[in-house]
């Protein structure tokens, strides 16, 4: 079984609504900053997950690998 990470449609809508709210209250630059910070966090989560999977594979730890 391979690991799958995805944002659901409701989560994407929530993020868009939050960004729109921030933009309406504080300006477009703040809305963009919010989305850019989320991008950075999502990229870090994916990189960390890939690093962990590679480490588990190198160790040959199949039981932990299957939990992903």
pLDDT per residue as tens digits for the range 15-67: 999 999 999 999 999 999 999 999 999 999 889 988 988 888 888 766 665 55
- Within a domain: residue 2? no
- Within a domain: residue 49? yes
How many domains does the structure of the chain reveal? Answer: 1
- Within a domain: residue 31? yes
Q: 65: which residues sit within 8 A by CB, 6+ positions away?
A: 53, 56, 57
Give the pLDDT of residue 62.
Answer: 63
Is 30 in contact with 23 (CB distance < 8 Å)?
Answer: yes
More confident residue, 4 or 22: 22
Q: Which domain holds residue 44?
A: 9-67
Question: What is the value of pTM for the model shown?
Answer: 0.66
Q: 3: which residues sit within 8 A by CB, 6+ positions away?
A: 49, 53, 68
Give the pLDDT of residue 1.
Answer: 42
Name the pLDDT band for 6 (thresholds 50, 70, 90).
Answer: confident
- Within a domain: residue 3? no
Q: Max alpha carbon distance in the chain (Å)?
A: 51
Give the pLDDT of residue 57.
Answer: 83
């Amino acid at each position: 079984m391979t690991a799958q990470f995805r944002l659901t449609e409701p989560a994407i809508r929530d993020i868009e609504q939050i960004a729109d709210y921030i933009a309406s209250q504080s300006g477009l630059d703040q809305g963009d900053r919010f989305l850019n910070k989320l991008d950075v966090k999502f990229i870090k989560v994916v990189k960390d997950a890939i690093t962990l999977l590679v480490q588990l594979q190198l160790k040959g730890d199949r039981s932990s690998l299957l939990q992903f």
